[in-house]
Structure 1
Protein backbone atom coordinates (compact mmCIF):
# COMPACT_ATOMS: atom_id res chain seq x y z
CA UNK A 1 0.00 0.00 0.00
CA UNK A 2 1.62 3.23 -1.10
CA UNK A 3 -0.29 5.72 1.04
CA UNK A 4 -3.26 5.95 3.37
CA UNK A 5 -4.71 8.50 0.95
CA UNK A 6 -5.14 5.72 -1.60
CA UNK A 7 -6.67 3.26 0.84
CA UNK A 8 -10.45 2.92 1.27
CA UNK A 9 -10.89 3.04 5.06
CA UNK A 10 -14.22 1.23 4.72
CA UNK A 11 -12.16 -1.85 3.95
CA UNK A 12 -10.95 -1.89 7.56
CA UNK A 13 -14.46 -2.81 8.69
CA UNK A 14 -14.51 -5.58 6.09
CA UNK A 15 -11.14 -6.86 7.25
CA UNK A 16 -12.07 -6.88 10.94
CA UNK A 17 -15.38 -8.63 10.30
CA UNK A 18 -13.82 -11.26 8.04
CA UNK A 19 -11.15 -11.97 10.64
CA UNK A 20 -13.80 -12.35 13.29
CA UNK A 21 -16.17 -14.53 11.27
CA UNK A 22 -13.67 -16.26 8.95
CA UNK A 23 -16.61 -16.98 6.69
CA UNK A 24 -17.55 -14.83 3.69
CA UNK A 25 -21.31 -15.41 3.86
CA UNK A 26 -21.56 -14.68 7.60
CA UNK A 27 -19.32 -11.62 7.28
CA UNK A 28 -21.49 -10.33 4.42
CA UNK A 29 -24.59 -10.72 6.60
CA UNK A 30 -22.96 -8.85 9.49
CA UNK A 31 -22.01 -5.98 7.19
CA UNK A 32 -25.35 -5.99 5.33
CA UNK A 33 -23.56 -6.61 2.05
CA UNK A 34 -24.16 -9.15 -0.69
CA UNK A 35 -21.69 -12.04 -0.92
CA UNK A 36 -20.32 -10.84 -4.29
CA UNK A 37 -19.81 -7.34 -2.84
CA UNK A 38 -17.88 -8.75 0.10
CA UNK A 39 -15.80 -10.98 -2.14
CA UNK A 40 -14.93 -7.91 -4.22
CA UNK A 41 -13.95 -6.01 -1.06
CA UNK A 42 -11.69 -8.88 0.01
CA UNK A 43 -10.05 -8.82 -3.42
CA UNK A 44 -9.36 -5.08 -3.03
CA UNK A 45 -7.91 -5.68 0.45
CA UNK A 46 -5.56 -8.33 -0.87
CA UNK A 47 -4.39 -6.04 -3.67
CA UNK A 48 -3.94 -3.04 -1.36
CA UNK A 49 -1.98 -5.01 1.24
CA UNK A 50 -0.23 -7.33 -1.22
CA UNK A 51 -1.12 -10.35 0.90
CA UNK A 52 -3.82 -13.06 0.63
CA UNK A 53 -4.87 -12.30 4.23
CA UNK A 54 -7.29 -15.24 4.43
CA UNK A 55 -6.48 -18.63 2.88
CA UNK A 56 -8.94 -21.49 2.41
CA UNK A 57 -7.78 -24.64 4.26
CA UNK A 58 -9.38 -27.89 5.41
CA UNK A 59 -10.34 -26.00 8.58
CA UNK A 60 -11.94 -23.16 6.58
CA UNK A 61 -10.55 -19.68 6.03
CA UNK A 62 -7.38 -19.11 8.04
CA UNK A 63 -5.52 -15.78 8.45
CA UNK A 64 -1.98 -15.30 7.22
CA UNK A 65 0.74 -14.02 9.58
CA UNK A 66 0.37 -10.57 8.00
CA UNK A 67 -3.36 -10.61 8.75
CA UNK A 68 -2.79 -11.72 12.36
CA UNK A 69 -0.25 -8.93 12.90
CA UNK A 70 -2.57 -6.37 11.33
CA UNK A 71 -5.69 -7.37 13.27
CA UNK A 72 -4.94 -5.69 16.67
CA UNK A 73 -3.83 -2.51 14.89
CA UNK A 74 -7.10 -2.36 12.93
CA UNK A 75 -9.19 -3.19 16.00
CA UNK A 76 -7.53 -0.43 18.01
CA UNK A 77 -8.02 2.07 15.18
CA UNK A 78 -11.70 1.16 14.79
CA UNK A 79 -12.24 1.38 18.56
CA UNK A 80 -10.65 4.84 18.66
CA UNK A 81 -12.80 5.99 15.75
CA UNK A 82 -15.92 4.58 17.40
CA UNK A 83 -15.13 6.42 20.64
CA UNK A 84 -14.36 9.65 18.82
CA UNK A 85 -17.53 9.53 16.73
CA UNK A 86 -19.80 8.70 19.67
CA UNK A 87 -22.13 11.46 20.89
CA UNK A 88 -20.68 13.58 23.72
CA UNK A 89 -21.60 12.60 27.24
CA UNK A 90 -24.93 14.05 28.27
CA UNK A 91 -25.07 16.90 30.78
CA UNK A 92 -26.24 15.72 34.19
CA UNK A 93 -27.64 18.74 36.03
CA UNK A 94 -28.35 16.77 39.21
CA UNK A 95 -24.64 16.09 39.79
CA UNK A 96 -22.97 18.91 37.85
CA UNK A 97 -20.94 21.63 39.58
CA UNK A 98 -20.68 23.71 36.40
CA UNK A 99 -20.55 27.51 36.77
CA UNK A 100 -22.32 29.30 33.92
CA UNK A 101 -21.62 32.90 33.01
CA UNK A 102 -24.54 34.91 31.65
CA UNK A 103 -24.35 38.39 30.20
CA UNK A 104 -27.75 39.93 30.80
CA UNK A 105 -29.81 43.06 30.92
CA UNK A 106 -30.84 44.72 34.18
CA UNK A 107 -34.37 43.61 33.39
CA UNK A 108 -33.51 39.90 33.28
CA UNK A 109 -31.31 40.12 36.38
CA UNK A 110 -33.96 41.97 38.41
CA UNK A 111 -37.19 40.41 37.19
CA UNK A 112 -36.39 36.94 35.86
CA UNK A 113 -33.12 35.69 37.28
CA UNK A 114 -34.03 35.14 40.96
CA UNK A 115 -36.99 32.90 40.07
CA UNK A 116 -34.99 31.16 37.34
CA UNK A 117 -32.12 30.34 39.69
CA UNK A 118 -34.45 29.22 42.46
CA UNK A 119 -36.21 26.86 40.07
CA UNK A 120 -32.97 25.33 38.76
CA UNK A 121 -31.47 24.75 42.18
CA UNK A 122 -34.37 22.44 42.95
CA UNK A 123 -32.95 19.79 40.60
CA UNK A 124 -29.44 21.07 39.87
CA UNK A 125 -28.14 21.96 43.32
CA UNK A 126 -24.46 22.03 42.38
CA UNK A 127 -24.62 24.53 39.51
CA UNK A 128 -23.89 28.24 39.92
CA UNK A 129 -23.99 31.41 37.84
CA UNK A 130 -22.01 34.58 37.32
CA UNK A 131 -23.87 37.59 35.91
CA UNK A 132 -22.13 40.14 33.69
CA UNK A 133 -23.16 43.21 31.76
CA UNK A 134 -23.76 42.98 28.03
CA UNK A 135 -20.96 44.85 26.29
CA UNK A 136 -19.66 44.94 22.71
CA UNK A 137 -16.65 42.91 23.92
CA UNK A 138 -18.97 40.17 25.20
CA UNK A 139 -20.54 39.81 21.77
CA UNK A 140 -17.32 40.07 19.77
CA UNK A 141 -14.87 38.16 21.99
CA UNK A 142 -16.17 36.67 25.24
CA UNK A 143 -18.74 34.39 23.60
CA UNK A 144 -16.21 33.01 21.14
CA UNK A 145 -13.61 32.48 23.89
CA UNK A 146 -16.29 30.92 26.11
CA UNK A 147 -15.77 33.45 28.87
CA UNK A 148 -19.54 33.98 28.60
CA UNK A 149 -21.87 31.04 27.93
CA UNK A 150 -24.97 32.93 26.84
CA UNK A 151 -26.36 36.44 26.42
CA UNK A 152 -29.89 36.72 27.77
CA UNK A 153 -32.43 39.41 26.95
CA UNK A 154 -30.73 41.45 24.24
CA UNK A 155 -33.11 43.17 21.84
CA UNK A 156 -33.67 41.37 18.55
CA UNK A 157 -32.76 44.47 16.53
CA UNK A 158 -29.19 44.48 17.79
CA UNK A 159 -26.44 43.87 15.23
CA UNK A 160 -24.20 40.90 15.93
CA UNK A 161 -20.78 39.65 14.78
CA UNK A 162 -20.40 36.57 12.61
CA UNK A 163 -20.49 33.18 14.31
CA UNK A 164 -23.03 34.30 16.89
CA UNK A 165 -26.45 32.63 16.99
CA UNK A 166 -29.49 34.66 18.04
CA UNK A 167 -32.88 33.06 18.68
CA UNK A 168 -36.17 34.61 19.86
CA UNK A 169 -36.72 34.17 23.57
CA UNK A 170 -39.42 36.33 25.13
CA UNK A 171 -41.73 39.25 24.35
CA UNK A 172 -42.63 41.82 26.99
CA UNK A 173 -45.10 44.67 26.83
CA UNK A 174 -43.67 48.16 27.28
CA UNK A 175 -45.32 50.74 29.54
CA UNK A 176 -44.48 54.22 30.73
CA UNK A 177 -43.96 55.34 34.30
CA UNK A 178 -44.86 58.82 35.53
CA UNK A 179 -44.92 60.42 38.96
CA UNK A 180 -48.26 60.06 40.71
CA UNK A 181 -48.58 63.86 40.82
CA UNK A 182 -47.34 64.52 37.28
CA UNK A 183 -49.96 66.97 35.93
CA UNK A 184 -48.94 66.63 32.28
CA UNK A 185 -49.59 62.92 31.80
CA UNK A 186 -52.91 61.11 32.00
CA UNK A 187 -53.63 57.40 31.86
CA UNK A 188 -52.40 56.98 28.28
CA UNK A 189 -50.13 58.76 25.83
CA UNK A 190 -50.58 59.29 22.12
CA UNK A 191 -47.35 59.27 20.13
CA UNK A 192 -47.04 63.06 19.79
CA UNK A 193 -47.78 63.54 23.51
CA UNK A 194 -45.20 60.90 24.29
CA UNK A 195 -42.56 62.71 22.21
CA UNK A 196 -43.26 66.04 23.96
CA UNK A 197 -42.58 64.71 27.45
CA UNK A 198 -39.16 64.94 29.08
CA UNK A 199 -37.73 61.42 29.19
CA UNK A 200 -35.49 59.42 31.48
CA UNK A 201 -33.49 56.75 29.72
CA UNK A 202 -31.40 53.83 30.88
CA UNK A 203 -27.81 54.20 29.69
CA UNK A 204 -27.85 50.61 28.48
CA UNK A 205 -24.75 49.76 26.46
CA UNK A 206 -26.70 47.00 24.73
CA UNK A 207 -29.21 49.49 23.32
CA UNK A 208 -32.08 47.36 24.55
CA UNK A 209 -34.84 49.99 24.57
CA UNK A 210 -33.55 53.34 23.27
CA UNK A 211 -32.99 52.14 19.71
CA UNK A 212 -36.55 50.83 19.44
CA UNK A 213 -38.06 54.03 20.81
CA UNK A 214 -35.92 56.34 18.66
CA UNK A 215 -36.64 54.30 15.53
CA UNK A 216 -40.38 54.40 16.19
CA UNK A 217 -40.38 58.17 16.70
CA UNK A 218 -38.19 58.78 13.66
CA UNK A 219 -40.61 56.83 11.46
CA UNK A 220 -43.27 59.38 12.38
CA UNK A 221 -41.00 62.43 12.05
CA UNK A 222 -40.71 62.88 15.80
CA UNK A 223 -37.93 62.98 18.38
CA UNK A 224 -37.76 63.27 22.16
CA UNK A 225 -35.69 65.05 24.78
CA UNK A 226 -33.88 62.87 27.27
CA UNK A 227 -33.15 64.81 30.48
CA UNK A 228 -31.40 62.00 32.33
CA UNK A 229 -29.51 58.86 31.38
CA UNK A 230 -29.13 56.53 34.31
CA UNK A 231 -27.06 53.41 34.89
CA UNK A 232 -29.77 51.37 36.60
CA UNK A 233 -33.54 51.12 36.69
CA UNK A 234 -34.06 52.04 40.33
CA UNK A 235 -32.20 55.34 40.00
CA UNK A 236 -34.11 56.12 36.80
CA UNK A 237 -37.44 55.36 38.49
CA UNK A 238 -36.55 57.64 41.41
CA UNK A 239 -35.82 60.48 38.97
CA UNK A 240 -39.28 59.93 37.46
CA UNK A 241 -40.87 59.97 40.92
CA UNK A 242 -39.37 63.41 41.67
CA UNK A 243 -39.80 65.13 38.27
CA UNK A 244 -42.30 65.50 35.44
CA UNK A 245 -40.29 63.11 33.25
CA UNK A 246 -41.43 59.68 32.08
CA UNK A 247 -39.57 56.46 31.42
CA UNK A 248 -40.46 53.57 29.12
CA UNK A 249 -39.69 50.10 30.43
CA UNK A 250 -40.98 46.51 30.52
CA UNK A 251 -44.25 46.03 32.39
CA UNK A 252 -42.97 43.59 35.01
CA UNK A 253 -40.20 46.01 35.97
CA UNK A 254 -42.68 48.89 36.10
CA UNK A 255 -44.98 46.92 38.42
CA UNK A 256 -42.15 46.63 40.94
CA UNK A 257 -41.57 50.38 40.99
CA UNK A 258 -45.27 51.14 41.38
CA UNK A 259 -45.17 49.09 44.60
CA UNK A 260 -41.98 50.85 45.81
CA UNK A 261 -42.24 54.49 44.73
CA UNK A 262 -44.88 57.23 44.19
CA UNK A 263 -45.16 56.45 40.49
CA UNK A 264 -47.93 55.09 38.26
CA UNK A 265 -48.12 53.16 35.02
CA UNK A 266 -49.26 54.95 31.88
CA UNK A 267 -50.28 53.23 28.66
CA UNK A 268 -47.67 53.97 25.98
CA UNK A 269 -48.42 54.96 22.38
CA UNK A 270 -49.85 52.09 20.36
CA UNK A 271 -47.07 52.55 17.83
CA UNK A 272 -44.35 51.46 20.26
CA UNK A 273 -43.39 47.84 19.56
CA UNK A 274 -43.15 45.21 22.27
CA UNK A 275 -39.75 44.33 23.59
CA UNK A 276 -38.45 41.29 21.67
CA UNK A 277 -35.76 39.65 23.80
CA UNK A 278 -33.40 36.97 22.52
CA UNK A 279 -30.93 34.30 23.58
CA UNK A 280 -27.46 34.57 22.07
CA UNK A 281 -24.66 32.03 22.06
CA UNK A 282 -21.69 31.24 19.88
CA UNK A 283 -22.13 28.61 17.18
CA UNK A 284 -18.90 26.94 18.34
CA UNK A 285 -20.60 25.75 21.53
CA UNK A 286 -24.30 25.63 20.65
CA UNK A 287 -24.30 21.81 20.49
CA UNK A 288 -22.32 21.29 23.69
CA UNK A 289 -24.56 19.31 26.09
CA UNK A 290 -24.35 21.93 28.85
CA UNK A 291 -25.26 24.73 26.44
CA UNK A 292 -28.18 22.73 25.07
CA UNK A 293 -29.42 22.15 28.62
CA UNK A 294 -29.12 25.84 29.58
CA UNK A 295 -30.82 26.96 26.38
CA UNK A 296 -33.71 24.55 26.94
CA UNK A 297 -34.09 25.65 30.57
CA UNK A 298 -34.21 29.33 29.64
CA UNK A 299 -36.69 28.63 26.85
CA UNK A 300 -38.97 26.64 29.15
CA UNK A 301 -38.76 29.34 31.81
CA UNK A 302 -39.77 32.04 29.32
CA UNK A 303 -42.81 30.01 28.26
CA UNK A 304 -43.95 29.50 31.84
CA UNK A 305 -43.36 33.16 32.73
CA UNK A 306 -45.43 34.42 29.80
CA UNK A 307 -48.53 32.37 30.62
Structure 2
Protein backbone atom coordinates (compact mmCIF):
# COMPACT_ATOMS: atom_id res chain seq x y z
CA UNK A 1 0.00 0.00 0.00
CA UNK A 2 2.89 2.36 0.68
CA UNK A 3 4.10 1.94 -2.90
CA UNK A 4 0.62 2.64 -4.27
CA UNK A 5 0.34 5.85 -2.25
CA UNK A 6 3.55 7.09 -3.87
CA UNK A 7 2.90 5.71 -7.34
CA UNK A 8 1.19 7.70 -10.12
CA UNK A 9 -1.30 5.20 -11.61
CA UNK A 10 -1.28 7.14 -14.89
CA UNK A 11 2.20 5.71 -15.42
CA UNK A 12 0.67 2.25 -15.87
CA UNK A 13 -0.83 3.35 -19.20
CA UNK A 14 2.57 4.66 -20.22
CA UNK A 15 4.18 1.36 -19.24
CA UNK A 16 1.78 -0.80 -21.27
CA UNK A 17 2.07 1.44 -24.33
CA UNK A 18 5.86 1.43 -24.15
CA UNK A 19 5.90 -2.34 -23.81
CA UNK A 20 3.73 -2.69 -26.92
CA UNK A 21 5.56 -0.13 -29.04
CA UNK A 22 9.09 -0.48 -27.61
CA UNK A 23 9.77 2.92 -29.11
CA UNK A 24 9.52 6.22 -27.25
CA UNK A 25 8.37 8.36 -30.20
CA UNK A 26 5.64 5.92 -31.31
CA UNK A 27 4.46 5.47 -27.72
CA UNK A 28 4.27 9.26 -27.31
CA UNK A 29 2.14 9.54 -30.46
CA UNK A 30 -0.21 6.80 -29.21
CA UNK A 31 -0.69 8.57 -25.90
CA UNK A 32 -0.91 12.05 -27.48
CA UNK A 33 2.11 13.20 -25.48
CA UNK A 34 5.28 15.00 -26.49
CA UNK A 35 8.44 12.90 -26.69
CA UNK A 36 10.07 14.78 -23.78
CA UNK A 37 6.94 14.20 -21.64
CA UNK A 38 6.99 10.48 -22.37
CA UNK A 39 10.73 10.26 -21.70
CA UNK A 40 10.12 11.93 -18.34
CA UNK A 41 7.33 9.43 -17.59
CA UNK A 42 9.67 6.53 -18.42
CA UNK A 43 12.27 7.98 -16.06
CA UNK A 44 9.67 8.14 -13.27
CA UNK A 45 8.63 4.55 -13.97
CA UNK A 46 12.23 3.36 -13.71
CA UNK A 47 12.72 5.21 -10.43
CA UNK A 48 9.44 3.97 -8.94
CA UNK A 49 10.07 0.34 -9.89
CA UNK A 50 13.85 0.36 -9.39
CA UNK A 51 14.35 -1.24 -12.79
CA UNK A 52 15.36 0.06 -16.26
CA UNK A 53 12.29 -1.72 -17.75
CA UNK A 54 13.34 -1.04 -21.36
CA UNK A 55 16.98 -1.20 -22.47
CA UNK A 56 18.36 -0.02 -25.83
CA UNK A 57 20.02 -2.87 -27.79
CA UNK A 58 21.06 -3.59 -31.37
CA UNK A 59 17.53 -4.90 -31.86
CA UNK A 60 15.94 -1.75 -30.48
CA UNK A 61 14.38 -1.23 -27.05
CA UNK A 62 14.01 -4.58 -25.23
CA UNK A 63 12.11 -5.24 -22.00
CA UNK A 64 13.85 -6.48 -18.89
CA UNK A 65 12.66 -9.66 -17.13
CA UNK A 66 11.03 -7.43 -14.50
CA UNK A 67 9.08 -5.57 -17.22
CA UNK A 68 7.96 -8.82 -18.88
CA UNK A 69 6.73 -10.15 -15.53
CA UNK A 70 4.87 -6.92 -14.78
CA UNK A 71 3.12 -6.61 -18.14
CA UNK A 72 0.33 -9.22 -17.69
CA UNK A 73 -0.28 -8.05 -14.11
CA UNK A 74 -0.63 -4.41 -15.17
CA UNK A 75 -2.80 -5.31 -18.18
CA UNK A 76 -5.15 -7.32 -15.99
CA UNK A 77 -5.36 -4.52 -13.42
CA UNK A 78 -6.16 -1.95 -16.12
CA UNK A 79 -8.80 -4.24 -17.63
CA UNK A 80 -10.50 -4.63 -14.24
CA UNK A 81 -10.41 -0.86 -13.71
CA UNK A 82 -11.80 -0.26 -17.19
CA UNK A 83 -14.68 -2.65 -16.54
CA UNK A 84 -15.41 -1.22 -13.12
CA UNK A 85 -15.32 2.41 -14.27
CA UNK A 86 -17.41 1.82 -17.40
CA UNK A 87 -20.98 3.18 -17.38
CA UNK A 88 -23.62 0.65 -16.28
CA UNK A 89 -25.32 -1.36 -18.97
CA UNK A 90 -28.18 0.44 -20.68
CA UNK A 91 -31.72 -0.42 -19.59
CA UNK A 92 -33.56 -2.10 -22.46
CA UNK A 93 -37.28 -1.71 -21.73
CA UNK A 94 -38.41 -3.74 -24.74
CA UNK A 95 -36.75 -6.88 -23.35
CA UNK A 96 -36.80 -6.18 -19.60
CA UNK A 97 -38.85 -8.12 -17.04
CA UNK A 98 -38.14 -5.52 -14.32
CA UNK A 99 -40.76 -5.16 -11.59
CA UNK A 100 -41.09 -1.62 -10.23
CA UNK A 101 -42.66 -0.75 -6.88
CA UNK A 102 -44.34 2.63 -6.61
CA UNK A 103 -45.68 4.30 -3.49
CA UNK A 104 -48.49 6.52 -4.74
CA UNK A 105 -51.50 8.61 -3.84
CA UNK A 106 -55.07 7.46 -4.42
CA UNK A 107 -55.32 10.18 -7.04
CA UNK A 108 -52.47 8.85 -9.16
CA UNK A 109 -53.63 5.25 -8.83
CA UNK A 110 -57.26 6.05 -9.70
CA UNK A 111 -56.92 8.72 -12.37
CA UNK A 112 -53.53 8.31 -14.05
CA UNK A 113 -52.02 4.91 -13.36
CA UNK A 114 -54.24 2.82 -15.70
CA UNK A 115 -53.35 5.00 -18.70
CA UNK A 116 -49.70 5.19 -17.64
CA UNK A 117 -49.39 1.40 -17.40
CA UNK A 118 -51.22 0.87 -20.68
CA UNK A 119 -48.83 3.19 -22.52
CA UNK A 120 -45.72 1.63 -20.99
CA UNK A 121 -46.75 -1.91 -21.88
CA UNK A 122 -46.74 -1.02 -25.57
CA UNK A 123 -43.01 -0.22 -25.30
CA UNK A 124 -42.00 -2.52 -22.44
CA UNK A 125 -44.31 -5.55 -22.52
CA UNK A 126 -42.33 -7.51 -19.90
CA UNK A 127 -42.30 -4.95 -17.07
CA UNK A 128 -44.75 -4.94 -14.14
CA UNK A 129 -45.64 -2.76 -11.15
CA UNK A 130 -46.60 -3.07 -7.51
CA UNK A 131 -48.52 -0.18 -5.94
CA UNK A 132 -48.14 0.67 -2.25
CA UNK A 133 -49.28 3.41 0.10
CA UNK A 134 -47.12 6.44 0.78
CA UNK A 135 -45.98 6.16 4.39
CA UNK A 136 -43.08 7.60 6.39
CA UNK A 137 -41.48 4.16 6.15
CA UNK A 138 -41.80 4.18 2.36
CA UNK A 139 -40.16 7.61 2.18
CA UNK A 140 -37.34 6.57 4.48
CA UNK A 141 -36.25 2.97 4.71
CA UNK A 142 -38.37 1.90 1.72
CA UNK A 143 -36.52 4.15 -0.70
CA UNK A 144 -33.11 3.68 0.92
CA UNK A 145 -33.36 -0.13 0.92
CA UNK A 146 -34.92 -0.05 -2.56
CA UNK A 147 -38.12 -1.75 -1.47
CA UNK A 148 -39.73 1.30 -3.15
CA UNK A 149 -38.38 2.51 -6.48
CA UNK A 150 -40.22 5.82 -6.56
CA UNK A 151 -42.83 7.82 -4.65
CA UNK A 152 -45.32 9.33 -7.10
CA UNK A 153 -47.69 12.23 -6.54
CA UNK A 154 -46.79 13.38 -3.02
CA UNK A 155 -47.46 17.06 -2.34
CA UNK A 156 -44.36 19.23 -2.56
CA UNK A 157 -44.80 20.66 0.94
CA UNK A 158 -44.35 17.35 2.75
CA UNK A 159 -41.13 17.21 4.76
CA UNK A 160 -38.73 14.56 3.50
CA UNK A 161 -35.90 12.55 5.08
CA UNK A 162 -32.29 13.10 4.08
CA UNK A 163 -30.85 11.42 1.02
CA UNK A 164 -33.96 11.57 -1.14
CA UNK A 165 -34.35 13.63 -4.30
CA UNK A 166 -37.56 15.51 -5.13
CA UNK A 167 -38.56 16.53 -8.65
CA UNK A 168 -41.56 18.79 -9.44
CA UNK A 169 -43.93 16.61 -11.45
CA UNK A 170 -47.47 17.84 -11.99
CA UNK A 171 -49.76 20.58 -10.76
CA UNK A 172 -53.48 19.93 -10.36
CA UNK A 173 -56.21 22.38 -9.47
CA UNK A 174 -58.32 21.59 -6.40
CA UNK A 175 -62.11 21.86 -6.47
CA UNK A 176 -64.92 21.09 -4.06
CA UNK A 177 -67.54 18.39 -4.47
CA UNK A 178 -71.07 18.68 -3.05
CA UNK A 179 -74.25 16.65 -3.38
CA UNK A 180 -76.30 17.52 -6.43
CA UNK A 181 -79.24 18.13 -4.07
CA UNK A 182 -77.29 20.56 -1.89
CA UNK A 183 -79.03 23.96 -2.21
CA UNK A 184 -77.06 25.64 0.58
CA UNK A 185 -73.91 25.97 -1.50
CA UNK A 186 -73.71 27.81 -4.81
CA UNK A 187 -71.19 27.54 -7.61
CA UNK A 188 -68.27 28.97 -5.64
CA UNK A 189 -67.12 29.33 -2.05
CA UNK A 190 -65.40 32.11 -0.15
CA UNK A 191 -62.85 31.01 2.40
CA UNK A 192 -65.27 31.89 5.22
CA UNK A 193 -68.04 29.80 3.63
CA UNK A 194 -65.56 26.99 3.07
CA UNK A 195 -64.56 26.98 6.75
CA UNK A 196 -68.19 27.01 7.92
CA UNK A 197 -69.18 24.01 5.79
CA UNK A 198 -69.09 20.42 6.96
CA UNK A 199 -66.22 18.48 5.44
CA UNK A 200 -65.36 14.97 4.32
CA UNK A 201 -61.67 14.17 3.81
CA UNK A 202 -59.27 11.28 3.48
CA UNK A 203 -57.89 9.88 6.73
CA UNK A 204 -54.23 10.63 7.34
CA UNK A 205 -53.29 6.96 7.24
CA UNK A 206 -49.89 7.98 5.90
CA UNK A 207 -48.92 9.84 9.04
CA UNK A 208 -47.55 12.69 6.95
CA UNK A 209 -48.98 15.54 9.01
CA UNK A 210 -51.62 18.26 8.58
CA UNK A 211 -53.13 18.79 5.15
CA UNK A 212 -52.46 21.86 3.05
CA UNK A 213 -56.13 22.75 3.49
CA UNK A 214 -55.84 22.93 7.27
CA UNK A 215 -52.57 24.86 7.00
CA UNK A 216 -54.25 27.35 4.65
CA UNK A 217 -57.21 27.82 7.01
CA UNK A 218 -54.86 28.26 9.98
CA UNK A 219 -53.09 31.09 8.15
CA UNK A 220 -56.49 32.85 8.01
CA UNK A 221 -57.28 31.95 11.63
CA UNK A 222 -60.00 29.59 10.54
CA UNK A 223 -60.77 25.96 11.22
CA UNK A 224 -63.24 23.47 9.76
CA UNK A 225 -65.37 20.63 11.04
CA UNK A 226 -64.64 17.26 9.46
CA UNK A 227 -67.58 14.88 9.91
CA UNK A 228 -66.01 11.91 8.11
CA UNK A 229 -62.50 10.72 7.41
CA UNK A 230 -62.45 8.00 4.80
CA UNK A 231 -59.76 5.63 3.55
CA UNK A 232 -60.34 6.28 -0.16
CA UNK A 233 -61.79 8.88 -2.48
CA UNK A 234 -64.76 6.86 -3.75
CA UNK A 235 -66.07 6.20 -0.23
CA UNK A 236 -65.64 9.87 0.65
CA UNK A 237 -67.48 10.95 -2.52
CA UNK A 238 -70.38 8.63 -1.66
CA UNK A 239 -70.65 10.26 1.77
CA UNK A 240 -70.77 13.68 0.10
CA UNK A 241 -73.57 12.49 -2.22
CA UNK A 242 -75.77 11.66 0.78
CA UNK A 243 -74.97 14.57 3.15
CA UNK A 244 -74.62 18.35 3.22
CA UNK A 245 -70.84 18.07 3.50
CA UNK A 246 -68.23 19.12 0.96
CA UNK A 247 -65.04 17.43 -0.12
CA UNK A 248 -61.90 19.00 -1.61
CA UNK A 249 -60.04 17.00 -4.24
CA UNK A 250 -58.19 17.30 -7.58
CA UNK A 251 -60.37 18.45 -10.48
CA UNK A 252 -59.78 15.36 -12.62
CA UNK A 253 -61.06 13.08 -9.88
CA UNK A 254 -63.99 15.38 -9.15
CA UNK A 255 -65.03 15.23 -12.82
CA UNK A 256 -64.79 11.44 -12.63
CA UNK A 257 -67.12 11.30 -9.60
CA UNK A 258 -69.52 13.83 -11.11
CA UNK A 259 -70.14 11.38 -13.94
CA UNK A 260 -70.64 8.47 -11.52
CA UNK A 261 -72.56 9.92 -8.57
CA UNK A 262 -75.23 12.55 -7.82
CA UNK A 263 -72.63 15.20 -6.99
CA UNK A 264 -71.49 18.47 -8.57
CA UNK A 265 -68.32 20.55 -8.59
CA UNK A 266 -67.97 23.88 -6.81
CA UNK A 267 -65.12 26.36 -7.21
CA UNK A 268 -63.05 26.51 -4.01
CA UNK A 269 -61.80 29.68 -2.28
CA UNK A 270 -59.11 31.53 -4.19
CA UNK A 271 -56.83 31.20 -1.17
CA UNK A 272 -56.72 27.42 -1.43
CA UNK A 273 -53.36 26.28 -2.86
CA UNK A 274 -53.06 24.03 -5.91
CA UNK A 275 -51.83 20.47 -5.53
CA UNK A 276 -48.15 20.44 -6.53
CA UNK A 277 -47.20 16.81 -6.98
CA UNK A 278 -43.67 15.46 -7.01
CA UNK A 279 -41.57 12.45 -7.91
CA UNK A 280 -39.33 11.25 -5.09
CA UNK A 281 -36.46 8.81 -5.35
CA UNK A 282 -33.37 8.01 -3.32
CA UNK A 283 -30.07 9.58 -4.30
CA UNK A 284 -28.38 6.19 -4.02
CA UNK A 285 -30.20 4.89 -7.10
CA UNK A 286 -30.97 8.04 -9.09
CA UNK A 287 -28.42 7.18 -11.80
CA UNK A 288 -29.35 3.50 -12.08
CA UNK A 289 -30.49 3.00 -15.71
CA UNK A 290 -33.92 1.46 -15.01
CA UNK A 291 -34.70 4.19 -12.47
CA UNK A 292 -33.63 6.91 -14.92
CA UNK A 293 -35.92 5.34 -17.53
CA UNK A 294 -38.92 5.14 -15.16
CA UNK A 295 -38.41 8.74 -14.03
CA UNK A 296 -38.34 9.94 -17.65
CA UNK A 297 -41.48 7.95 -18.50
CA UNK A 298 -43.36 9.58 -15.62
CA UNK A 299 -42.19 13.06 -16.67
CA UNK A 300 -43.25 12.43 -20.28
CA UNK A 301 -46.61 11.08 -19.16
CA UNK A 302 -47.26 14.09 -16.92
CA UNK A 303 -46.51 16.51 -19.77
CA UNK A 304 -48.91 14.70 -22.10
CA UNK A 305 -51.56 14.39 -19.39
CA UNK A 306 -51.39 18.10 -18.58
CA UNK A 307 -51.90 19.03 -22.24
CA UNK A 308 -54.99 16.80 -22.42
CA UNK A 309 -56.67 18.47 -19.45
Q: TM-score, normalised by structure 2?
A: 0.97
Distance 1:159 1:207 in 2: 12
- Taking only aligned residues, the RMSD between alpha carbons, in angstroms, comes to 1.3
Aligned structure 1 segments of 4 or more residues deviating by more than 6 angstroms: none
Deviations 1:162-202 (A, max 9, x none): 00111100000100000001121111111101110000011
Distance 1:37 1:206 in 2: 63
Q: What's the secondary structure of 1:148's corresponding residue?
A: coil
Distance 1:45 1:305 in 2: 61
Deviations 1:247-288 (A, max 9, x none): 000011111110111000000111111100000000000000
The answer to whether residue 180 in structure 2 is matched with residue 180 in structure 1 is: yes
Distance 2:210 2:104 in 1: 16
1:153–1:207 CA distance, 2 compared to 1 (3 A): farther
Distance 1:4 1:278 in 2: 46
Q: 2:41 matched to which residue of 1?
A: 41
Residue segments in structure 2 that go unaligned for 5+ positions in a row:
none
Distance 2:221 2:206 in 1: 25
Q: 1:126 matched to which residue of 2?
A: 126
Residue segments in structure 1 that go unaligned for 5+ positions in a row:
none
Q: What's the secondary structure of 1:268's corresponding residue?
A: coil
Q: 1:192 matched to which residue of 2?
A: 192
Distance 1:115 1:298 in 2: 11
Contact persistence 1:152–1:280 (CA under 8 A): yes
Contact persistence 2:191–2:271 (CA under 8 A): yes
The count of residues paired between Structure 1 and Structure 2 equals: 307
Distance 2:142 2:156 in 1: 19
Distance 2:102 2:74 in 1: 45
Contact persistence 1:21–1:27 (CA under 8 A): yes
The answer to whether residue 163 in structure 2 is matched with residue 163 in structure 1 is: yes
Distance 2:102 2:164 in 1: 15
